Amino acid sequence: MSAQQKVQQHPAVIQATDKFHYYIAQLDKELTKYPVLTQFEQRTQVPKAYGVLGGLFLLTIFHLFNSLAGPVSNLVGWIIPAFLSFKAIETAGHQDDVQWLTYWVVFGFFNFLESVALRAVLYYFP
């Protein structure tokens, strides 16, 4: 028996692999709610869960190396919430409207802190 086979048959590796497959199945079941991801899976033959995890990995790498950090931050912090806010306005319920209005108040507050208050403090303390 080779070393690779011994490692693959180790109980801890088998348990970790089973957990991984369980969580991937749960994520795939959750992602089935989104038709765009189902179309992605059909066109590319890549499972939805792997596509989403790969995309999140790329976003993380871009942020870590500061490559495209500004556009990615705008996409996640502004463009996607703006789109979802417009969709929430079109629905009949008020709960999603309150959620997105709260998001924009908090987002605006942190932008204010970042642009005005934090710069004033950092002006005096390098």
Check pLDDT > 80 for residue 80.
yes
Check pLDDT > 70 for residue 17.
yes
Domain count of the chain? 2
pLDDT band at 126 (very low <50, low <70, confident <90, very high): low
Alpha helical stretches, state H, 32-47: 35-44
Q: Which of 125, 124, 126, 83 is nearest to 103 (CA)?
A: 83
pLDDT tens per residue, range 25-65: 999 999 999 999 999 999 999 999 999 999 999 988 888 88
Shared domain for 85 and 117, answered yes or no, is: yes
Q: What is the pTM of this model?
A: 0.57
Residue-range definition of the domain harbouring residue 119: 68-126
Last residue in a domain, options 17, 37, 67: 67
Shared domain for 13 and 56, answered yes or no, is: yes
pLDDT at 29: 94
Shared domain for 108 and 124, answered yes or no, is: yes
Shared domain for 52 and 89, answered yes or no, is: no
pLDDT tens per residue, range 81-104: 999 999 999 998 899 899 999 999
pLDDT at 8: 86
Shared domain for 34 and 51, answered yes or no, is: yes
Query: Which residue has better confidence, 110 or 53?
Result: 53
pLDDT band at 1 (very low <50, low <70, confident <90, very high): confident
Shared domain for 47 and 90, answered yes or no, is: no
pLDDT band at 73 (very low <50, low <70, confident <90, very high): confident
Shared domain for 2 and 59, answered yes or no, is: yes
DSSP, residue by residue, 55-85: HHHHHHHHHHTTTTHHHHHHIIIIIHHHHHH
Within 10 angstroms of residue 65's Cβ, the number of other Cβ atoms is 9
Shared domain for 89 and 61, answered yes or no, is: no
